[in-house]
């Protein structure tokens, strides 16, 4: 992929949830909620503090993360629907 986020931004691909319930009921696309879990594809270098010192990001490429339903900006890169968001929009890393 030829995209590098700037500053404290992160490029994330949503991880789709199961379209079936445990009882075998298929959930139609119109009833599905937006996934809140994703995989980090690229990260920026970090932000700068008041003194100009670089503060590196906590997340790294390959991390599975949880973020808010309406976080980030949706973009299409190489025919993939992706999200660009600030690291502060990410709630945590799935271990």
pLDDT tens-digit map of 1-57 = 688 999 999 999 998 766 655 666 666 655 455 668 999 999 999 988 899 899 999
Q: Mean pLDDT across the chain, nearest whole number?
A: 85
| pLDDT of the residue at 27 | 61
**Domain locations along the chain:** 9-18+25-83
pLDDT at 95 over 80: yes
Residues in a beta bridge with 54: 48
Q: DSSP assignment of 9-77, as one string? A: EEEEEEPPPPSB-TTSPBPPGGGPPPP-EEEEEEE---EE-TTS-EE--S--TT-EEEE-TT-SEEEEE
Q: What is the pTM of this model?
A: 0.78
> What is the CATH class of 9-18+25-83?
mainly beta
pLDDT at 89 over 70: yes
């Amino acid at each position: 992929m030829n995209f590098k986020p700037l500053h404290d931004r992160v490029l994330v691909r949503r991880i789709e949830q199961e379209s079936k319930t445990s009882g075998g009921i298929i959930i139609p696309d119109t009833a599905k909620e937006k996934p809140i879990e994703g995989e980090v594809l690229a990260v920026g270098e970090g932000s700068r503090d008041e003194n100009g010192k670089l503060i590196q990001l906590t997340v790294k490429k390959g991390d599975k993360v949880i973020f808010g339903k309406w976080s980030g900006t949706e973009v299409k890169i190489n025919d993939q629907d992706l999200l660009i968001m600030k690291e502060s929009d990410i709630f945590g890393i799935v271990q």
